[in-house]
Amino acid sequence: MTSRVRSVTFDTHNPYELAGFWLQVLNAPRPDDDHPGDPYAAVVTDSMTLLFEQNDDEKAVKNRVHLDLEPDIPRDEEVARLLTLGATIATDFRNPDGTGWVVMHDPESNEFCVLRSATERAATS
């Protein structure tokens, strides 16, 4: 017998709003049963579910778990797109040779990384 990951859950002050950010990031539709003020909101994609749960506690430390995003477009274009959606750059690990990644924060300071696209990685193999 084994277990499987059903969802990755984020504590958040505003589930509907933060889910809205991630819906844009992952280009996913909002579930019909998500409404402003609800204690939960979800982002459902073909590969995973992100669940956003109401919690009024303040974030105290660095995330112990984070998402690594592999964009379909070049990494630098994706970073620029995410900045327009409300993300911020926490740490930039991009190298002059094109390798590396960018650590970003979502609107509630949850960390995630933007990696190079598969096309970019294949070009340097």
Domain of 35: which CATH number?
Answer: 3.30.720
The residue ranges of DSSP E strands in the chain, in sequence order, are 8-12, 40-44, 49-54, 67-69, 88-92, 102-105, 111-114
- Tally of domains in the chain: 2
Q: Looking at residue 74, what is its pLDDT?
A: 96
120 and 69 housed in the same domain: yes
5 and 24 housed in the same domain: yes
Q: Which of 6-20, 21-35, 58-72, 91-105 has the lowest mean pLDDT?
A: 58-72
Please tell me the pTM assigned to this model.
0.90
Sign of the four-CA dihedral 83, 60, 36, 6? positive
Count CA atoms closer than 13 A to 106's CA, side-chain side: 27
Count CA atoms closer than 13 A to 36's CA, side-chain side: 1
d(CA 94, CA 49): 28
Q: Looking at residue 40, what is its pLDDT?
A: 96
Which of 36, 56, 76 finishes a domain?
56
Which of 56, 76, 94 finishes a domain?
56
Residue 115, amino acid: L
Domain of 36, in residue numbers: 1-56
Q: Are 31 and 44 in contact (CB under 8 A)?
A: yes
pLDDT class of 80 with cuts at 50, 70, 90: very high
Residue 61 above 80 pLDDT? Answer: no
Provide mean pLDDT across the span 30-56.
95
Provide mean pLDDT across the span 87-107.
96
Q: Which two tokens stand for residue 75?
A: 């990494």
DSSP 31: P
27 and 8 housed in the same domain: yes
